[in-house]
Amino acid sequence: MLTRRTVLAAAPFALPALLPARAHIKVGVCDWNLRKAADITAIAMASEIGFEGLEVSLGRKVTDGALPMDSAVMQSRFVTDARERRITLTSTCLDVLHVHYMKLDPLGAKFTSDAIRITRAMGAPLILLPYFGKGALDNRDDMARVADILKEIIGEAERSKVVLALENTISAEDNAFMMDRVGSDYLKVYYDVANSHYNGFDVPKEIRWLGKQRIGQVHFKERGYLGSGAVPLAESAAALHEIGYEGFINLELPSPSGDIPADMRRNLEYTRKLMAA
């Protein structure tokens, strides 16, 4: 049977051009998927492709105890270039947590504190905190340990008005356990539809269950082009509209053809049409 999802997946460019705009949801891209992690030239590339926002890596190669983006000069350059090119710095990613795992390494907390200061200086509203690999939250003890670490830091986030957003492979209920343990509106979920789908969760149901107040930002992701796989993107889009989500959707995607600008334009167009349909 031909369904709306089938049409979107099979022919992302076949939708009518004159669909009603949903301007309250904008689309950004992760700098690492432009192969420009913590690189200011990602701003120009995102702008040229047509994105409205950019998620900026803070870098993994620590020098003298400092993150690559821990430079007032660099932060100012990012802010100025983004303003001139009309690109919103949607968020930062504390990707050093892939090296200094928060549940195991005290430097994870230190770098989170540094990231709050850096992110505030860059004018971004949110930090993605990744928990994968050796840093994954495998059980409630891990979740409680990390939540207690974040509880010690959350006051800095509140004063700086910077949201800390959890990205991981656990359920909406487990993320809520962590948020409730910390007890602050400045700890939210960075909801990645593919991470949740590939780990067996009902993505639209989780989006509705978490609601607008607990979702900080969203990643759209697929192993190939958006719409080419099993991730329930149309259903996720409907759920986001249903809860009144108004933040950015950032695309975290590979480049199947190797032509990053062309592939990203394809995925950007698909996303805009999907969110407007």
Q: What is the CATH number of the domain that holds 254?
A: 3.20.20.150
> What pTM value is reported for the model?
0.91
Over residues 217-272, the pLDDT tens digits come to 999 999 999 999 999 999 999 999 999 999 999 999 999 999 999 999 999 999 99
d(CA 40, CA 117): 19
If one counts the domains in the chain, the total is 1
In this prediction, residues 56-74 reach a mean pLDDT of 96
**Structural domain includes residue 1:** no
**Structural domain includes residue 180:** yes
pLDDT at 3 over 90: no
Over residues 110-125, the pLDDT tens digits come to 999 999 999 999 999 9
What is the pLDDT at residue 255?
97
What is the pLDDT at residue 210?
98
**Structural domain includes residue 165:** yes
pLDDT band at 277 (very low <50, low <70, confident <90, very high): confident
Name the more confident of 212 and 6.
Answer: 212
**Structural domain includes residue 10:** no
Over residues 156-202, the pLDDT tens digits come to 999 999 999 999 999 999 999 999 999 999 999 999 999 999 999 99
101: containing domain: 22-276
d(CA 27, CA 258): 21
d(CA 239, CA 148): 31
**Structural domain includes residue 219:** yes
pLDDT at 14 over 50: no
What is the pLDDT at residue 49?
98
**Structural domain includes residue 9:** no
**Structural domain includes residue 63:** yes
Over residues 118-151, the pLDDT tens digits come to 999 999 999 999 999 999 999 999 999 999 999 9
**Structural domain includes residue 200:** yes
d(CA 125, CA 130): 17
pLDDT at 22 over 50: no
pLDDT band at 19 (very low <50, low <70, confident <90, very high): very low
d(CA 96, CA 181): 24
What is the pLDDT at residue 16?
36
